[in-house]
A and B are shown apart, each in its own frame.
Chain A
Amino acid sequence: MAESVLAIANVSKSFGALKASDDVSLDLRPGEIHALIGPNGAGKSTLIAQIAGGLKPDAGAIRFLGEDVTHLDTVGRAKLGLGRTFQVSALAMEYTALQNAVLGAMGASGGIFRFFRRALSDQGLRDVAEKALARVGLSDQAGTVTSELSHGQRRQLEVAVALTLNPKAFLMDEPMAGLGEAGSKEMTAFLDSLRSEAPILLVEHDMDAVFTLADRISVLVYGRIIATGTADEIRGDPEVRRAYLGEAV
């Protein structure tokens, strides 16, 4: 088995008496889409925050590309190549789609401390940004201010900004949310093609997308991973059915 790109080992995190992450272990292998599902309040967001670097686990370790990143902050992990998208769009709302994508390209290329040349005149940055926008199908909206984009277009822009970083792994928090049926299908097809570039840890509520895309699925309930396996294994798992899927599938 190839070495994991991202490995979360025995991670725990409590808020007072609430165990938001309870001895969680999961890994992301090259070329795969690993979906993380679970009912609301299962601790998905807390886990994502710990993987991205916004929260420090109380116990356990997180390894990324073979390196222990448990004590690295968000910026450090981003620089190593962790491309994250947010559940609630965290985009610069006053900026155009292109500016948001250029921001990503700047982060990847470095050289932030340049004060004179207009960033948008930098053809290198523009190329990276425009290519990313084209890939998610947002080329027509490049000049649109983000606050005027539809909800679904912002989800696409989230993914485009992550693409500009050329990441080694994607961490995607509900990229399908609010996309509508057609949009969801397009995004599913796109993510399907993306896995060969970098593996994706996908948190998603859209079960059709999850079962179409995921090579493996982990089910999180009350902070614990109760099962990890292929789509068929998860579908057949009695504990999962009882805890979660019974209502959904």
Chain B
Amino acid sequence: MSRETLINIALAAILLAVPIWAHFADEPFIITLSTKVAILALAGVGLNLALGLGGLVSFGHAAYFGIGGYAMGILASHAQDYTPFMEWPFVIEGTNQMPIIWLVAVVMSGLAALAIGALSLRTSGIFFIMITLAFGQMFYYFAISWTAYGGEDGVSIYVRNEFPGLNTLDAIQFFALAFTALMLALIFSSRIAKSRFGLALTAARQAEQRVETVGIKPFQLRLTVFVISGMITGLAGALMADLNRFVSPVMLSWQTSGEIMIFVILGGVARLFGPVAGAAMFILMEHILGGFSEFWHGWLGLVLLLIVLFARGGLIGVLAGKEKADG
């Protein structure tokens, strides 16, 4: 077992142990904090597929995060008001069932990623960064002007949505859902990285010409991973909105895109548990440094600078060393 694998297992164990301890120590705030880490890490796992494996620097992943959030907000607010989401040409009711909300969140963010990716992936480098940012901002301004769902104020729901067989109001049970989603996404990520698809995708990042020369279209690979990436981040958005029982355009803002990217860079780009380490570090810094000063982002900037300058592999890279090639 490699050192990185051991570190990954340790990280997962800590993320699981802390809220369980908090549950018995009656520290609900710590459970909420842990849930937040799990959900933000999930958003980062989504981005890391595009950014780490595909080399696609998307600066618009807030779009998918926010779409997931609004899928929750819209469906749940209709369920709580007993009004249908639409009546014509057929009736669609709201719902407070998480599985349905998640499905809608994943499908809608996947469709958005498909459209945005199909257009953006014709560019590369700085243009790709800018065009994904622009699409993200489009969704942001649309949400602000969408008065039916609160405009700038967003949508609140009173009670957390339900999951069959669980009491989601119990913090530890909701954490279990978020943690399970994160673990499944991580397993999926680790499989995809070494699959045929992952091999070709990562090759396209390193040597695009080579991939074309063996008869594979890099565009198709990238669009596929972009959609998968958007879907996972969208699921995270739905969970985040449910954690807060609130969704607003802030979820769609470019700062959110930046934060998701920061999780990945802090933890280690293309490292499986990079987003987990990154999100945990971010939340810890926010919580601890934020206690001293509102301007804790200055310290975050400093850490980010150090990592970019001296530790390209992020936190995981510092702990586990350079990544080994498969086989």
Contacts and interface: CB of A to CB of B under 8 A. Distances in A.
Interface in B187-236: 188, 191-192, 194-200, 202-203, 206-207, 209-217, 220-221, 224
Interface stretch (A57-65, A116-124, A184-192): A116-124
A115 interface: yes
B207 A74 contact: no
Interface string A87-116: 000111111101110111011100111111
B309 interface: no
A52 B203 CA distance: 19
Given A75-B215, A145-B325, A115 B200 contact: no
Contact of A115 (B192, B203, B212, B215): B192
A142 to B, nearest CB: 9
B68 to A, nearest CB: 21
A244 interface: no
B210 to A, nearest CB: 5
A205 to B, nearest CB: 21
A161 interface: yes
Nearest to A94: B206
State the main secondary structure of chain B at its contact with A. helix
A102 B215 contact: no
Contacts of A102: 199
Contacts of B213: 52, 74, 78, 84, 86, 90
A106 B198 CA distance: 12
Contacts of A119: 194-196, 198-199
A113 B212 CA distance: 16
How extensive is the interface on chain A, given as a class?
35 or more
Contact of A113 (B197, B326, B327): B197
A106 B206 contact: no
B196 A122 contact: yes
Contact of B215 (A78, A92, A120): A78
Contacts of B197: 112-115
A103 B199 CA distance: 7
Interface residues of B, number: 29
Interface string B284-327: 00000000000000000000000000000000000000000111
A178 interface: no
B295 to A, nearest CB: 39
A162 to B, nearest CB: 8
Contacts of A143: 327
Nearest to B209: A90
A165 interface: yes
A114 B211 CA distance: 16
A114 B214 contact: no
B216 A75 contact: yes
A112 B216 contact: yes
A95 B212 contact: no
B325 A112 contact: no
B91 to A, nearest CB: 36
B210 A90 contact: yes
A104 B327 contact: no
A96 B327 contact: yes
Nearest to A126: B327
Contacts of B221: 112
Nearest to A145: B325
A78 B216 CA distance: 9
Interface string A112-154: 1111111110100100000000000000000101000000000
Given A78-B212, A91-B207, A116-B191, A106 B200 contact: yes
Interface string A183-222: 0000000000000000000000000000000000000000
Nearest to B217: A75
Contacts of A79: 215
Nearest to A144: B325
B215 A99 contact: no
30 contacts: A52-B213, A74-B209, A74-B212, A75-B212, A75-B217, A78-B214, A78-B215, A84-B213, A86-B209, A90-B207, A91-B210, A95-B203, A99-B199, A100-B203, A100-B210, A103-B203, A103-B210, A107-B200, A107-B211, A114-B195, A115-B188, A115-B197, A116-B191, A119-B194, A119-B196, A119-B199, A120-B194, A120-B199, A125-B196, A164-B214
Interface of B: 188, 191-192, 194-200, 202-203, 206-207, 209-217, 220-221, 224, 325-327
3 interchain residue pairs of minimum CB distance: A107-B214, A78-B215, A92-B206
